[in-house]
């Protein structure tokens, strides 16, 4: 019959054990210690004793047969007997959490300020387990370096989130160097679902990427769709800096833009970086207005492998490639494969894809025309200006068109580059 009772008592009270590791020093009254004969106390006791002794213990509990009261229980009830009131300060954390769960969003955020116990409860629930506040979608998170005159002389970074739906935005200023310990934003990030990240107007350093990674770690289901790096100084970046960033966000990106960056070196953006993306998801890859550092390099080591990656994934993002290491042949392959894939689409929609190749020293117009005729592509030069040549390649049935814009390496540059070794 005792065995039966063991099975019956599958009551699940509110979880008590180790629910709030960070608020442990504030353990509210633990009723298990005081409520003799309570279900909770029995459960706790059983976890410490063997089966036989626990069954015996239950028996004596219920029938009220007096046993030697444990010293600990007595001490606790002694200290309680002088305090008949029960201020909320002694509320166990679980009850506080239940109350917080019923508050509206702004109030919960305000509660964080009240005292450290409350702060710990809220952060525990939200940051570690993301059960308290519903996530907030940010259309764009913009991390921008603030010019000195705006920030009053100090070097600052501004993090601004923008929500397209509600047309709202808010910014926070952080001092450089970014220090995760000094300004943790884990709580904020634990509510953010970020769709696009823009980093602009600053020196791209390991610090910033580290700070970003630490905070992004707390985002629920981080899956940004776009990463734009604009107007950055890559001179301060190490060769792995961008790799570190892409490691966290790369797999879900559909748009990757790196534009107007200076001080960049060949190893800073390569085929290896592109392979950190999901080749089937990328819709647009822009590498534009690149200013390589020094005179010792012709191009970024972003080359044919990336194009081949897209071809084999049967996914053809819009490309803008400035100062890259691609060759004419493979670019032509790319357009050919796009035309092939477009052809298999059922709808007779006019499809158009654009590929812009700028200042890539291994691509030139004449060669392109040759390659096109080799592949029997219907290629037509549609405009030639001093700086660009535009080709239109049409598919057989004329529905699909691939536009290839070529900006050759400017003459002054090629003179400079004559002495440089060829990158293969």
Helices 206-216, 241-249: inter-axial angle, 10-degree rounding: 20
Q: How far is the CB of 81 from another protein (least distance, A)?
A: 8
Q: How far apart are the first and last CA of the chain?
A: 83
Query: 99 or 349, CB closer to another protein?
Result: 99
Residues 317-336 that bind another protein (CB under 8 A): none
Residue from the set 95, 295, 354, 384 that interacts with another protein by CB under 8 A: 95
Cis amide prior to 72 (ω within 30 degrees): no
Query: 9 or 247, CB closer to another protein?
Result: 9
Does 254 contact another protein by CB under 8 A?
no
The two beta strands, 226-230 and 255-259, are parallel
Residue from the set 102, 149, 397, 422 that interacts with another protein by CB under 8 A: 102
Does 354 contact another protein by CB under 8 A?
no
Q: How far is the CB of 50 from another protein (least distance, A)?
A: 21
Q: Are 302 and 266 in contact (CB under 8 A)?
A: no
Dist CA 353 CA 139 (whole Å): 26
**For residue 116, which of 23, 215, 18 has the smallest C-alpha distance?**
23
Does 193 contact another protein by CB under 8 A?
no
Does 110 contact another protein by CB under 8 A?
yes
Residue from the set 55, 103, 248, 309 that interacts with another protein by CB under 8 A: 103
Residues 40-79 that bind another protein (CB under 8 A): 40, 62-64, 77
Residues 120-149 that bind another protein (CB under 8 A): 136
Q: Are 300 and 268 in contact (CB under 8 A)?
A: yes
**For residue 267, which of 229, 285, 232, 241 has the smallest C-alpha distance?**
241
Residue from the set 185, 222, 225, 405 that interacts with another protein by CB under 8 A: 185
Query: 187 or 262, CB closer to another protein?
Result: 187
Does 247 contact another protein by CB under 8 A?
no
Single out the segment in contact with another protein by CB under 8 A; choices: 147-155, 167-175, 354-362, 367-375. Answer: 167-175
| Interface size with another protein, residues (CB under 8 A) | 67
Q: How far is the CB of 84 from another protein (least distance, A)?
A: 6
Residue from the set 67, 70, 164, 172 that interacts with another protein by CB under 8 A: 172
Query: 105 or 350, CB closer to another protein?
Result: 105
Q: How far is the CB of 218 from another protein (least distance, A)?
A: 12
In angstroms, what is the C-alpha Rg of the chain?
Answer: 32
Does 118 contact another protein by CB under 8 A?
yes
Dist CA 400 CA 380 (whole Å): 14
Query: 75 or 172, CB closer to another protein?
Result: 172
Does 170 contact another protein by CB under 8 A?
yes
Helices 328-343, 304-312: inter-axial angle, 10-degree rounding: 10
Residue from the set 15, 88, 366, 411 that interacts with another protein by CB under 8 A: 88
Does 222 contact another protein by CB under 8 A?
no
Q: Which residues bind another protein (CB under 8 A)?
A: 5, 8-9, 11, 13-14, 29, 31, 34-40, 62-64, 77, 80-81, 84-89, 91-92, 94-95, 98-107, 109-119, 136, 159, 161, 163, 166, 168, 170-172, 183, 185, 187-188, 191-192
């Amino acid at each position: 019959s005792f065995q039966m009772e063991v099975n019956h008592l599958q009551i699940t009270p509110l979880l008590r054990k180790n629910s709030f590791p960070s608020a442990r020093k504030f353990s509210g009254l633990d009723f298990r210690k005081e409520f003799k004969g309570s279900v909770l106390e029995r459960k706790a006791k059983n976890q410490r004793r063997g089966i036989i002794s626990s069954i015996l213990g239950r028996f004596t509990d219920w029938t009220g047969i007096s046993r030697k009261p444990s010293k600990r229980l007595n001490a606790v009830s002694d200290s309680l007997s002088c305090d008949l009131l029960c201020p909320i300060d002694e509320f166990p954390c679980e009850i506080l959490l239940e109350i917080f769960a019923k508050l509206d969003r702004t109030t919960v955020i305000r509660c964080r300020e009240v005292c450290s116990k409350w702060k710990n409860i809220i952060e525990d629930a939200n940051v570690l387990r993301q059960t308290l506040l519903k996530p907030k979608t940010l259309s764009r998170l913009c991390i921008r370096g603030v010019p000195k005159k705006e920030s009053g002389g100090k070097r600052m970074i501004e993090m601004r989130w923008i929500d397209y739906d509600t047309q709202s935005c808010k910014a926070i200023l952080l001092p450089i160097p970014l220090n995760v310990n000094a300004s943790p934003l884990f709580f904020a990030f634990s509510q953010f679902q970020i769709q696009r990240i823009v980093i602009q107007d600053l020196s791209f350093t390991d610090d910033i990427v580290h700070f970003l990674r630490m905070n992004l770690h707390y985002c629920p289901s981080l899956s940004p769709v776009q990463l734009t790096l604009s107007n950055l100084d890559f001179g301060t970046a190490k060769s792995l800096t961008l790799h570190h960033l892409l490691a966290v966000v790369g797999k879900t990106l559909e748009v990757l833009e790196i534009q107007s960056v200076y001080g960049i070196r060949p190893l800073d953006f390569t085929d290896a970086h592109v392979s950190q993306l999901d080749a089937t998801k990328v819709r647009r890859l822009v590498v534009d207005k690149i200013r390589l550092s020094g005179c010792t390099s012709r191009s970024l080591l972003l080359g044919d492998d990336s194009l081949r990656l897209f071809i084999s994934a049967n996914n053809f993002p819009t490309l803008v490639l400035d100062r890259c290491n691609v060759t004419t042949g493979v670019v032509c392959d790319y357009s050919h494969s796009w035309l092939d894939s477009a052809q298999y689409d059922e709808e007779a929609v006019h499809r158009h894809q654009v590929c812009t190749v700028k200042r890539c020293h291994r691509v030139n117009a004449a060669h392109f025309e040759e390659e096109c005729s080799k592949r029997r592509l219907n290629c037509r030069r549609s405009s030639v200006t001093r700086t660009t040549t535009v080709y239109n390649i049409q598919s057989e049935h004329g529905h699909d068109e691939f536009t290839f814009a070529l900006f050759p390496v400017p003459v002054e540059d090629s003179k400079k580059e004559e002495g440089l070794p060829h990158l293969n």
